[in-house]
Chains A and B, each alone.
Chain A
Amino acid sequence: MSSGYHELAARRWRVAIILTMAVIIIYFGFIALIAYRKEMMGSLIAPGLTVGILVGALVIVSSWLLTWYYVWWANSRYDERLAELKGRGE
């Protein structure tokens, strides 16, 4: 009866899991680099800028990008499909 809702819930779940895995990999990747590649993280790219600072800033920026992507996906794809389901009165 509500297979449309099930399918939509499953789709959101898949997107949520993939994006969560991405955050986990990015953040713990950063920690792992600090723990096991100390010299590389401390090497200078430009005066005042080490690899570590750059990667740390990128962790913050990628958190923004991932949340932005999810909100974009949910506001367009997800909500569109939800409106369709509601419209059909399932």
Chain B
Amino acid sequence: MAPDLVQSAAAQSTSIGQPNTVAMAFFFVFIAITLGITYWAARRTRTTEHFYAAGRSISAGQNGFALAGDYMSAASFLGIAGLVSTTGFDGLIYSTGWLVGWPVVLFLIAEPLRNLGKYTFADVVASRLKQTPVRLAALLGTLSTVIFYLIAQMVGAGTLIKLMFGLSYETAVAIVGAAMIAYVLFGGMIATTWVQIVKAGLLMTGAGVLALLVLLKFGMNPLALFAAASAKYGSAMLAPGKLVSIPLDTISLGMALMFGTAGLPHILMRFYTVKNAKAARTSVFYATGLIGVFYLLTFVLGFGAMVLVGPDAIRAIDKGGNMAAPLLAEYLGGTPFLGFIAAVAFATILAVVAGLTLSGAAALSHDLWTSVVRGGSARPGEELRVARVATFVLGVVAVLLGITFKGQNVAFMVSLAFAIAASANFPALVLSIFWRRCTTQGAVASMVMGTLGTLMLIYLSPVIQVDILKHAGAWFPLKNPAVLTIPASFLIGIVVSLVTSDAGALEQHEGSVREMVEGARAH
């Protein structure tokens, strides 16, 4: 009885969960604009280079926004603001983790990737190794990352939209799927890039205005806001809490976030949309700036929601605290502002799934169809057709998975996707780029074991065994296996390379170094 009373008391003071005309209006404007962009992009998408890489015509600044748009998911906007609003300081541990992957992308991956590849990260790993085994192993890592990330986004979309717009879960998932398929299928990378840019602009504006309205109540001084939180809910809100009770778990999640970013297929693919390595480099600089500002803003939003809305009212709407930012928007700007923020959250999910689907389709058509099935040379126009079929199939699969996993706890799937990206894709990329002795067998073993090892340890971990299967204990103690699987993947790659030999890889090393520096391929 008691929780129901709290629920209804809170429901009276908020319009969340009821159809919101302003949200609908904003959302339809967003859909109309992005479909307009898609129509414009479709007329420019004639070749595979347009479809996968926007004809290499995206500027560094545009790509910086698009990278940020691809990366800032609803999970980080709503999730981190929610975490801060209910636990205070602990939310900061997450936001920093999400940011520190970007310098790693810049230092180790962005430029060599741009210079050595064409469309996918497998291009780079395979550049001086044997095509078929490397492409197949990379496909395993890519699809695992993309599918788990997609499930988390689709389920999040259904739940959020149901909560904020009052639509049914299935309708919400179907709308997201249909719009995402339309963007990618017709507009390819050009449309996807501009959807990301529009979304990043909306998200930064929404979070920025919201933070400004919060700070106006505290004399534009964030410290006054933190002090108010501490006065109301105790000084513990400004200090480390329970989140780091098992340090190794936090370190493991931190490693997954830090190195996973540099192994996410949809992020890596963005570096092929700019004209050279210098533009790739500069775009990461912009993205890091934008994402850093964004996480500082969510910290302010979280504390604002804590002080102005209150942790209990936030938990009453959603136990995970995900509605903190929308509730804060409603408190500060009434139903219209709530509608705007809700539409921004929807746009956020839509843009992320479009990027993911495109990278999955590129892996299927470029890596599997053209490179493996056709031995490297598909007939003209064929690869583009296959890419479009793959887009459609992946979109439908995403919708079906979203409906299948309805009501399941899928929050762990985002960190799982990061763990696979960090353990399967990242080590093979680093070894093949920087290590002369890396062999085909070494790279393949590292990618396959990285994927399977991560999946197995996640299955044996408390997130599946205890939280989902309700067993008393778990075989593997950590929630995230990255602390083990990243070093293991590197070790496997190195040991297998040392005991095998790959004459072709050694022979081509000289030319590969030169290409990496000079940037000969794919102008």
Contact = CB atoms under 8 A, between A and B. Distances in A.
Q: Are the chains A and B members of one assembly?
A: yes
A30 to B, nearest CB: 7
B35 interface: no
Contacts of A74: 111, 278, 281
Contacts of A52: 89, 92, 238-240
Contacts of B292: 60-61, 63-64
A82 B225 CA distance: 50
B106 A46 contact: no
Q: Which of A32, A50, A57 has the most CB of B within 10 A?
A: A50
A36 to B, nearest CB: 7
A28 B518 contact: no
Contacts of B103: 19-20, 23, 63, 66-67, 70
Contact of A27 (B108, B225, B227, B258): B258
A61 B96 CA distance: 10
Contact of B226 (A12, A27, A38, A48): A48
A6 B513 contact: yes
B244 interface: yes
A71 B282 contact: yes
A7 B128 CA distance: 20
Contact of B97 (A27, A36, A41): A27
Interface stretch (B202-210, B247-255, B319-327, B337-345): B247-255
B139 interface: no
A31 B224 contact: no
Given A5-B513, A63-B102, A68 B285 contact: yes
Contacts of B258: 23-24, 27
B146 interface: no
A74 B280 CA distance: 12
Given A2-B510, A74-B281, A63 B100 contact: yes
B96 A34 contact: no
Which of A34, A52, A71: most chain B CB closer than 10 A? A34
A26 B103 CA distance: 12
Contacts of B247: 31-32, 35-36
B226 A53 contact: yes
B239 A41 contact: yes
A31 B230 contact: no
A19 B434 CA distance: 16
Contacts of B434: 13
B347 interface: no
Nearest to A33: B240
Given A27-B258, A56-B92, A48 B107 contact: no
A34 B484 CA distance: 21
Q: Pick the most buried of A26, A31, A59, A82: most chain B CB atoms within 10 A of its CB.
A: A31
B239 A60 contact: no
Nearest to B223: A48
A1 B518 CA distance: 14
B360 to A, nearest CB: 28
Contacts of B288: 63-64, 67
A79 B373 CA distance: 39
B296 A82 contact: no
Contact of B244 (A31, A68, A70, A79): A31
A67 B236 CA distance: 33
B99 A60 contact: yes
B218 to A, nearest CB: 9
B276 to A, nearest CB: 10
Contact of B296 (A27, A60, A71): A60
A77 interface: no
Interface of A: 2, 5-6, 8-9, 12-13, 15-17, 19-20, 23-24, 26-28, 30-32, 34-36, 38, 41-42, 44, 46-50, 52-53, 56-57, 59-61, 63-64, 66-68, 70-71, 74-75, 79, 82, 85-86
Given A49-B223, A59-B96, 9 more contacts: A19-B107, A23-B258, A27-B96, A47-B223, A59-B99, A63-B99, A63-B100, A70-B103, A70-B106
6 contacts: A31-B250, A52-B238, A60-B99, A63-B99, A64-B289, A67-B284
